[in-house]
Chain A
Amino acid sequence: MNELKGGIIPSKTGIRETIIDLIEKSVDKGIFDAVIIPMKVPSGDSFVYVLVKDKKLLKDGFPLAPTMLVQGAKAVSSVTRLGKGNMKIAAIIRPCEARATVELAKLGQADLDNVTIISIDCPGVLPTSDFLEDPDKYLKKFDDAYKNWDDKIMRPVCQICDKSSMVTGDLHIGTLGAKKDTCFIISNSEKGDSVAEKLDINLNQNLDSWNSKVKAISEEKKKKRIKAHKELKSTVSGLDNLVETFSQCINCHNCMRVCPVCICRLCYFDSDKVKHTAEDYLTRAESKGSMRFLPDTTLFQMGRMMHMSISCVSCGNCEDACSMDIPVGQIFSMIADETQALFDYVSGRSLDEPIPLVAYKKEELHQMEDAND
């Protein structure tokens, strides 16, 4: 874990303008060739990531968009999966997206050599269906909520997120605890240091006010999180409850496809392994007298948990995309906390930390062996 260094930059007109200003200066100085940044679509009812090179277009950048339709890690992966290319790219993304990007790099799905990840203190993000009801109204609601760091209208997983200021990329914009008309710019890596240097930003400022504010918010959220997970656990615990929770699931697999860390081109649960003959299905149905068709909904959900919870960043995109409003984000996030805690692992915390299921220590987890003795 790096020791965080930070500087202070002016921020008179608002955080979005500040970031655009910073990026424009960087592009001017040749620090970056292109930027991955959110932008409002022409119809005004959505925000998408755009890889921008043209300075004129940069002005339309919209960091800290009110919605997160595509997880930023997917955007970075889409640009760098097949190699680092010749462009120096900055990615302006939220902390959970930065964590997922780091995780994807470990999974060989993104090349971060030429990418500078810039994250920002995150107030949360709106559920997409709410935003779509009235985009203009909800954008205003989001900006108001941001001013007061009020998460009531944000996604359920955002409301209990204790990592909303976690720094894992190269640079981080710290708005919490900053003096009026300023914000912090924090560096977490040599790449970050170098960018700050080229921009004449002194990284020796005192970060205490940011650190203490972040700590306070994180602890408050942690309390909420523990409480929420306790309640959630009681509603999904046990086979009956589990089956009931997922009874509405139509196996559209939207959750899996929007998940940044579900990367398999051909998912196990779409493969031949789960396709059986009519006779097999009939025999299986006969054993119980009736069988949901297609069967194995719960197996899909639990299987996906098994495959990806070690890398889950609790972004909640799965829940946003669920066509039957099942609280998958909250459930998977809760399980992910527990699986990651088993290995003292936090998904995306560091590029140098191997993913626990593809690493091992010769001596560990003895308490799990013959656990019932």
Chain B
Amino acid sequence: MTKALKLNKSAEEGILEFLKYLLESGKVKGVFTLKRISKNSAIAYSLITNPDELKDAVPFYPLMPVNAGKLMSRFTLKEGAKKPVAAILKPCELRGFIELIKREQGTLDNLYIISSICGGVFPSRTEVDRSAEKKLPKYWESVKKGEISPDLRSVCKACEEFIPYTADITFDLLGNNDIDKHSIFYLNTKKGEDLAKDMKGDFSEKEFDRKKLEKINEKRQAEKKKLYDEIGKKMNGIDGLVEIFGRCIGCHGCSKVCPICYCKLCEFESPDSEYSPSNYETELRKRGGIKVPPGTIYFHLGRLTHIGISCVACGQCNDVCPVDIPVADIFKKVGESIQKMFDYVPGKDVEEEIPLVSFKQEEFAEIEE
């Protein structure tokens, strides 16, 4: 049983009311959330300090222009927050942030994390061609019914991690048929309770509707199987990889938007990965010809070995790829296969060590055969 706060306001209004209360009461000095930032309504994350600015905030808009976990890391990298700030993050953004904290790239100090039972987001293209507004009503209908909106990112459709693990407050969205009338905030932690306690609303003890969430999870699992089958067919030996990554231009956009990729100087952009004239001469002797710049597949496989263990399958990489390579689908599948070996869910627990920097004295004896 968790303490929960109920407001007699629609989800859209309820969250804004809550954020207004947080700022006006001084409980937090800033709120970090999605906001309409321009005349043409481009939607971007914003740090809001004046409650009047909340009128343009759209916290649960189904868009993820940037993985906010990465933004929280940037916010707290040089020094943790000295004054309390509330941040509205989607579950995968929160998990991304936790994985970054494990890598000493941020801190939760003075941060209150508000997340939601997530219905997924649209691909960024939907923002580019302005069709997001038109797709919204259908999206919210799907969310209320706990169904998978057809307009979601491929990895959102297949996502089983739509319930946040470590949020201080979780907003009830997916599968909640009542979001046009009521807002439910689950107060998961003491921090969350303290934050909400002076808000005007109905407090009670509530539980997640496990059965309903299980049903939703089953649907997601079915989608996941479809996704894995489809991408799995293409991952067929070296030729399969050459085909999948044939269009890759080495822009490294996937790496730059990835919440887990944080290296200031990426290995694959460092002198280590440069080919000297004699390297080229060797390659030409061996192969007769080589794509330039070289190392396309090496980059993707290498990035998998570096961050696959922590991939939260947010799908930013898919969106940013200029040549539509399904990077997220591949990283989700391969990432999950390594994570499962260690029973590891990235971002679930900030105290849980990343499997590749820890060990047990007795394990994986079967690898040496």
Contact = CB atoms under 8 A, between A and B. Distances in A.
Do A's and B's CB atoms come within 8 Å in the complex? Answer: yes
A293 B47 contact: yes
The size class of the interface chain A forms with chain B is 35 or more
B278 A85 contact: yes
Nearest to B278: A85
Contacts of A265: 265, 269-270
B128 interface: yes
Nearest to B243: A43
Contact of A321 (B247, B294, B322): B322
A290 B19 CA distance: 14
Contacts of A349: none
Q: Which of B30, B76, B247, B253 has the most CB of A within 10 A?
A: B247
A285 B71 CA distance: 15
Contacts of A278: 75-76, 78-82, 85
A43 B236 CA distance: 14
A282 interface: yes
Contacts of B257: 250, 252
B284 interface: yes
A306 interface: no
B246 A41 contact: yes
A48 B274 contact: no
A278 B290 CA distance: 46
B42 A248 contact: yes
Contact of B32 (A252, A253, A293): A293
B170 interface: no
B242 interface: yes
A244 interface: yes
A250 B65 contact: yes
Contacts of A324: 124, 127-128
A277 B320 contact: no
Interface in B1-56: 29-30, 32, 35, 37-40, 42, 44-50, 52-53
B356 interface: no
Given A56-B288, A282-B81, A252 B256 contact: yes
A252 B251 CA distance: 10
Contacts of B323: 46, 69, 128, 132
B320 A45 contact: no
B85 A282 contact: yes
B131 to A, nearest CB: 13
Nearest to B57: A290
A25 B233 CA distance: 42
B216 interface: no
Given A52-B289, A54-B288, A321-B251, A282 B277 contact: no
B290 A50 contact: yes
A366 interface: no
Interface in A241-280: 243-244, 247-248, 250-254, 257-258, 265-266, 270-271, 275-279
B289 A290 contact: no
A53 interface: yes
Contact of B77 (A45, A46, A257, A275): A275
Given A45-B246, A46-B247, 8 more contacts: A41-B243, A53-B288, A79-B280, A86-B277, A282-B29, A289-B48, A292-B45, A293-B32
Interface of B: 29-30, 32, 35, 37-40, 42, 44-50, 52-53, 65-66, 71, 74-83, 85, 124, 127-129, 239, 242-243, 246-247, 249-253, 256-257, 264-265, 269-270, 274-278, 280-281, 284-285, 287-294, 319-324
